[in-house]
Structure 1
Amino acid sequence: MSFKIAIIGAGSVGFTKKLFTDILCVPEFKDIEFALTDVSEHNLAMIKAILDRIVEANNLPTRVTATTDRRKALEGARYIISCVRVGGLEAYADDIRIPLKYGIDQCVGDTICAGGILYGQRNIPVILDFCKDIREVADTNAKFLNYANPMAMNTWAAIEYGKVDTVGLCHGVQHGAEQIAEVLGAKSPRELDYVCSGINHQTWFIDLRLNGRKIDRDELIAAFEAHPVYSQQEKLRIDVLKRFGVYSTESNGHLSEYLPWYRKRPDEITRWIDMSDWIHGETGGYLRYSTETRNWFETEYPQFLEAASKPMDASKRSNEHASHILEALETNRVYRGHFNVRNDGVITNLPRDAIIESPGFVDRFGINMAAGITLPEACAATCMASINVQRMSVHAAISGDIDLLKLAVLHDPLVGAVSTPEEVWQMVDEMVVAQAQWLPQYAHAVPAAKERLSKSTVKTREWAGAARRSVRSIEELRAEKAALKQAV
């Protein structure tokens, strides 16, 4: 087979490498072309060198090109994969820093909450530019695979306004299933059969079967509470499991910021999180992790390049959906996964226009969703709160309506639990002004926002958050990795 895959945001070096090697694990895909594009020539050069080294080491006919000219990369592409972060870590730092001034403590801030909503405002205009290029220069039947957060908002915009065949992809479901299989004592995650449904980062394991035996709520609670690690790292998720009766896919830290109950007071935050790793609830945890990862890669790049010289091992193909979807579409080998698509009745008690994450099957006829799923009422209610925020956020990003943007932030569950309307109005003004270079649709609103800020009487504070850690130096990271290696 010979076709072209374009990767937008290919400067996300580690993730691009994973997608690349996963796809080349499919025997029929050796003779394809990868077209890499990014706004950073530096990152493009690094990832192209790594991928060229993999191709050379494995004696493959695969072609790899790299360009900052996005339309050139998209020309004739059958599949387009996006993993962009508009504004990079600079804008992301404001997504965490500014809400903290108003008492809003986020662990990740890339899905909803104040940070996730502003992230969507930066991404959506760019996503629509991608879609325009796809319609004009890509293959007639091109499929857009979106990995970029905020997943639901980006996918919603691409489908409703970009008019491109789009599917959103995430790995939260797989990771949650691996946890459940482990606590239940399975020898392999393959022993666990499950139905997981909801919206991205708020998906729920509504049916669990281990080797054909149905697992009920009480057995799952007991298994998690008995686990020596997860009982401490996933305290909030376990509490939600006890109250809702089903387990959520998302990590302890991520889940905590989608709900109005656990991060509303600083003393409550420390009660529910675990500081053994960023993902369990640390303030700005993903920002710290992302910063350290970037710094580590830049410093240790020669090691990554050397590792690329080793032969690929198809047995190490990851469970990221992209390669499996492409394999199913091109070879007709059926793949079952969980995909982000427009609902259109798949989940009976969520709106038709919402972007849901739910089970589906892929073959040469496309992605076919398993329809007729009904969520438990509490799960549907929690999803609905986020869907309403997502809808307003998408429409605000399209229209450049700053008042609608403020209403979207006001209706966010965690923001609403912490902040007053007056505080929300000022916070959004401050975030829009700080991020104006990435928010062209709000250019008309920036002068008035600056004027309001100059006259504001709303009090803020410089606050690091309830559980903040400093970015570690390269020397500290080296020492930690050496200690872990020695312990093993």
Structure 2
Amino acid sequence: MTKVAFIGAGSVEFTRNVVSDLCSYPELQGQLELSLHDIDADRLAHAEALVRRIDEETGAGARVSSSVDRRTAVEGADYVINEIQVGGYQATRADFDIPERYGVHQTISDTIGIGGVFRGLRTIPVLIGIGADLAEVAPDSYLLNYSNPMAMLPWAVHAGSPFHRVVGMCHSVRDTHKTLAELVGLPVEEIDFVTAGFNHQAFVLRFEHQGRDLYPALRAAIDADPELQRRVRVEIFRRFGYFPTESSEHSAEYVPWFMHHPGEVEHFRVPIGEYLRRSERNIDEFAATQQALKGGGPLPVDATSELASEFIHAHQTGRAREIYLNVRNDGLISNLPDECCVEVPTLVDASGPHPRPVGALPPQLAALNRTFLNVVELTVRAVLDGNRDHVYQAALLDPNTASVLTTRQTVQMCDELFAAHGDLIPEALRKA
């Protein structure tokens, strides 16, 4: 049997997508053990009912279990999929509302920025705990992380636990490649891409078709379309020379040039507060799925080619495929620090993941990545070292926050967030 454990299984989207994929693979039918964990017993019961229904609809013959005890759920696992959001909607609401009172606008607030810092403070200790558990009860497993802030979490697992078989997964590179293929009018599978950097701030370094550089065609498509020119990621491409992988709403809050300027917000159509609206839609979707399960009718099962399921399938069957993963750098990008977590093309086969070295980034991209890295590194160090000053320093060095606030205002805002999050923050950091 192949045991796949889900931490934060009450997440509607990822659990459903990954389980639907796994149960749809003919090679894995009759071979799956699906173990579910969530700290919310009601959500866990919903997740178990959902997974059992998917198993029934697909005829996969999976063995399904659930537990509110994490170690029980992950013991002996081959793969552990992490999809937690520590503090849920209420914590996210605080990450938006308190900075907004200080004039710090955010769109997604889960990566860097003041919201990314405090999400990191809440989440890093949990991931380190997961790493400690896996080192003891599932040392040969792979931890497949979906949670944000992605650039912080695998780094923290490596640095703060004895478990190092951790990779991060995000859709942004794959979605960007698809978008670029559509813009130049070619099938995505015919294009040669190489993309690298940090999660949510990687760049397409190679964009070719049969040896022909496609960037001139992309520039022509943008020059011909005034609406395309009103996207933040297109503006970053025009100024830095390489197309970024993250959406415009994400990208706008990683840099100092957009969020604090009402004219730029309007021109580039920056959706301030977007993640709150998405979170509210997710709450509605959870309720709708609950109703569908209670109704007893058929539940449509659609294969989604989710990254975790592709990783598991490639590793189990030996059918190698390239997936973009977030891994410890160790020289993969030569002008970024070895210990940081980078996003690079990775071949996954029966022997595991094999990240591809990409060499040095162009200097302007490495420079932009370093402004991102400042916040990530200081947040990770704040938790590992129990150093509250590093939290203030991360916020002071955040490009978006620094474009709005003075040093004293930044510290005061952080203190309000510490108080609002209470016990979700590591104890060593709660002491002013």
The two structures have a TM-score, normalised by structure 1, of 0.84
How far is the alpha carbon of 1:399 from its aligned partner?
Answer: 2.5
How far is the alpha carbon of 1:305 from its aligned partner?
Answer: 6.6
Matching residue of 2:149: 150
Cα deviations across residues 324-355 of structure 1 (Å, max 9, x unaligned)? 21122222111101110111111111111111
Which residue of 298, 304, 321 maps to 1:317?
304
Aligned equivalents of 1:120, 1:289: Cα separation in 2: 20
Query: Structure 2: 5+ residue runs without aligned partners?
Result: none
Q: Does 1:355 align with 2:341?
A: yes
Matching residue of 1:334: 320
Matching residue of 2:69: 69
Contact 2:292 2:299 in 1 (8 A): no
Matching residue of 2:236: 240
Contact 2:106 2:273 in 1 (8 A): yes
Matching residue of 1:293: 282
Q: Does 1:263 align with 2:259?
A: yes
Matching residue of 1:410: 396
How far is the alpha carbon of 1:192 from its aligned partner?
Answer: 2.3
In 2 relative to 1, CA 241–444 (structure 1 residues): closer, same or farther, beyond 3 Å?
A: closer
In 2 relative to 1, CA 418–311 (structure 1 residues): closer, same or farther, beyond 3 Å?
A: closer
How far is the alpha carbon of 1:128 from its aligned partner?
Answer: 1.2
Which residue of 228, 231, 234 maps to 1:231?
228
Contact 1:75 1:137 in 2 (8 A): yes
286-295 vs 108-117, greater mean Cα deviation: 286-295
In 2 relative to 1, CA 34–231 (structure 1 residues): closer, same or farther, beyond 3 Å?
A: same
1:195 is matched by which residue type in structure 2?
V
Aligned equivalents of 1:306, 1:269: Cα separation in 2: 44
In 2 relative to 1, CA 239–159 (structure 1 residues): closer, same or farther, beyond 3 Å?
A: same
1:84 is matched by which residue type in structure 2?
I
Aligned equivalents of 1:49, 1:432: Cα separation in 2: 37
Query: Structure 1: 5+ residue runs without aligned partners?
Result: 274-280, 449-488
Secondary structure at 1:362's aligned position in 2? strand
Cα deviations across residues 126-163 of structure 1 (Å, max 9, x unaligned)? 1111111111212x311111110000111110111123
How far is the alpha carbon of 1:15 from its aligned partner?
Answer: 1.5
In 2 relative to 1, CA 372–193 (structure 1 residues): closer, same or farther, beyond 3 Å?
A: closer
Map 1:27-66 to 2 at 5 A.
Answer: 27-30=26-29, 31-66=31-66
Aligned equivalents of 2:199, 2:240: Cα separation in 1: 18
Aligned equivalents of 1:182, 1:419: Cα separation in 2: 40
Cα deviations across residues 249-275 of structure 1 (Å, max 9, x unaligned)? 1001100011111112233322222xx
Contact 1:107 1:285 in 2 (8 A): yes
The two structures have a TM-score, normalised by structure 2, of 0.95
Matching residue of 1:3: 2
How far is the alpha carbon of 1:191 from its aligned partner?
Answer: 2.4
1:123 is matched by which residue type in structure 2?
T
How far is the alpha carbon of 1:373 from its aligned partner?
Answer: 2.4
Aligned equivalents of 1:225, 1:305: Cα separation in 2: 52
Secondary structure at 1:375's aligned position in 2? coil
In 2 relative to 1, CA 308–380 (structure 1 residues): closer, same or farther, beyond 3 Å?
A: farther
Q: How many residues align?
A: 430
How far is the alpha carbon of 1:4 from its aligned partner?
Answer: 0.8
Contact 2:122 2:425 in 1 (8 A): yes
Secondary structure at 2:254's aligned position in 1? coil
Percent of matched pairs sharing the same residue: 37
Which residue of 192, 217, 220 maps to 1:219?
217
In 2 relative to 1, CA 260–330 (structure 1 residues): closer, same or farther, beyond 3 Å?
A: same
How far is the alpha carbon of 1:306 from its aligned partner?
Answer: 6.5
Contact 1:399 1:441 in 2 (8 A): no
How far is the alpha carbon of 1:290 from its aligned partner?
Answer: 1.0
Matching residue of 1:170: 170
Secondary structure at 1:389's aligned position in 2? helix
In 2 relative to 1, CA 227–306 (structure 1 residues): closer, same or farther, beyond 3 Å?
A: farther
How far is the alpha carbon of 1:295 from its aligned partner?
Answer: 2.4
Contact 1:37 1:67 in 2 (8 A): yes
How far is the alpha carbon of 1:225 from its aligned partner?
Answer: 4.5
Cα deviations across residues 172-198 of structure 1 (Å, max 9, x unaligned)? 001111110111112x32222200100
2:57 is matched by which residue type in structure 1?
A
How far is the alpha carbon of 1:243 from its aligned partner?
Answer: 1.1
In 2 relative to 1, CA 262–308 (structure 1 residues): closer, same or farther, beyond 3 Å?
A: farther
Matching residue of 2:381: 395
How far is the alpha carbon of 1:212 from its aligned partner?
Answer: 4.7
1:262 is matched by which residue type in structure 2?
F
Secondary structure at 1:361's aligned position in 2? strand
In 2 relative to 1, CA 419–307 (structure 1 residues): closer, same or farther, beyond 3 Å?
A: farther
Secondary structure at 2:152's aligned position in 1? helix
Matching residue of 1:124: 124
Aligned equivalents of 1:338, 1:304: Cα separation in 2: 34
Matching residue of 2:249: 253
Matching residue of 1:385: 371
Aligned equivalents of 2:375, 2:297: Cα separation in 1: 42
Matching residue of 2:417: 431
How far is the alpha carbon of 1:366 from its aligned partner?
Answer: 1.7
Aligned equivalents of 1:400, 1:441: Cα separation in 2: 8
